[in-house]
Amino acid sequence: MSTTLHSSALLHPDQASETDFMPLLGTDHVEFYVGNAKQAAHFYRTAFGMTLIAYAGPETGQYDRVSYVVQQGKVRFVLTTALRSQHAIASHVLRHGDGVHAIALLVDDARHAWTQATQRGAQSVLEPVATRDDQGEVTLASIQAYGDTVHTFIERQNYHGAFLPGYRAVENDPIARPVGLLHIDHMVGNVGWNEMNAWVDFYERVMGFRLYQHFDDKDISTEYSALMSKVMANGNGYVKFPINEPAEGRRKSQVEEFLEFYDGPGVQHIALATHDILHTVSTLQRQGVEFLRVPHSYYTELEQRVGSIDEPIRDLEELGILVDRDDEGYMLQIFTRPVEDRPTLFFEIIQRKGSRSFGKGNFRALFEAIEREQQARGNL
């Protein structure tokens, strides 16, 4: 399989180099800075079906902030809020609204990962530090990524507690309503004009990632707006970070709208994998999660475009699920509307049936759906 830099080039995971200087075991968790973590945790539990597993706050000796840890499958989110106005977390929320602050990556050796990254030019945010309680020890270290986003390296093989030292376990969550979410498939970052290649270079040089696929403005454009995207993947392919930048179009692109309302680069969407997208999405909709819709014509043309698939097209249309096919198989996907009032972070639900691509065939229908929403917000 080709690894040249043409559109939709796929890098096979077994092409991972044996000299991977930063082996990542996967995404440990994603930490959001939010205005009201108690209410955000309620939303992710009752709407997205996650289970509250741990808590830290004044009652556990953490006096400046409160964090709720929610989990479903391997998807783990930490929702953190500052308790006083003079706090870096409060400043983050003032500037960006609710959003992702940290993407924590699981490693065998956090000090090694941090040393490799900083020697290759990463800016340190947190030097390696070991924390412990009666459940064992965790080592953490962080580096700066795009905007105010950071990557935390987390080493926890000697820890047996619910989350991290300082957190208390929550044994039972009576309101969680699981929907079948399994793991994070990919997390997309929006960066500024002409900044994509600098961040692609960062992930290559500092993190040992490689270009997995790329899309240019011919793949991703409509009458009004365009964007460019490169998908970066780590050595074993477990961690995938597409990076978007805006491209010149007739009107304001969705990436520009994000950059304006997030006030800078940040995480645009998190794709969550399921084995049964019909079940997952119908349950999420019943629980109040709002999704983008595409017109009826998308479904009348679907079979011609993607061939025969296992799922009844009627059911897909009822839920608004999109389908795309490549030479390895097909995938089903759907996108939520932004999950906060600012038009910033949203989620994707994805089921892969052989395909390792990102739904290029859906870009036009999807972008037109996004533009209808931008129009309604007065931001097109």
Binding site for Fe ion (CB under 5 A): 271, 348
Report how far apart, in Å, the C-alpha atoms of 358 and of each of 323, 326, 369 are.
10, 10, 17
- Return the closest-CA partner of residue 230 out of 219, 218, 216: 216
The answer to whether residues 334 and 281 touch, using CB atoms and an 8 Å cutoff, is yes
Nearer to Fe ion, 79 or 271 (CB): 271
**What is the closest distance, in whole angstroms, from the C-beta atom of residue 66 to Fe ion in the complex?**
30
Neighbours of 84 (CB within 10 A): 10
Nearer to Fe ion, 66 or 331 (CB): 331
Nearer to Fe ion, 165 or 343 (CB): 343
**What is the closest distance, in whole angstroms, from the C-beta atom of residue 186 to Fe ion in the complex?**
6
Edge-to-edge order in the sheet of strand 150-155: 124-133, 136-144, 150-155, 99-106, 26-33, 75-82, 65-72, 51-56, 168-169
The Cα 13–Cα 240 span in angstroms is: 11
**What is the closest distance, in whole angstroms, from the C-beta atom of residue 356 to Fe ion in the complex?**
13
The answer to whether residues 90 and 140 touch, using CB atoms and an 8 Å cutoff, is no
**What is the closest distance, in whole angstroms, from the C-beta atom of residue 240 to Fe ion in the complex?**
9
Nearer to Fe ion, 340 or 348 (CB): 348
Q: Which two tokens stand for residue 322?
A: 């999109």
**What is the closest distance, in whole angstroms, from the C-beta atom of residue 162 to Fe ion in the complex?**
30
Burial of 241 (0-12, 13-18, 19+ CB in 10 A): buried
Nearer to Fe ion, 257 or 348 (CB): 348
71 DSSP β-pair partners: 51, 76
Nearer to Fe ion, 20 or 219 (CB): 219
**What is the closest distance, in whole angstroms, from the C-beta atom of residue 57 to Fe ion in the complex?**
33
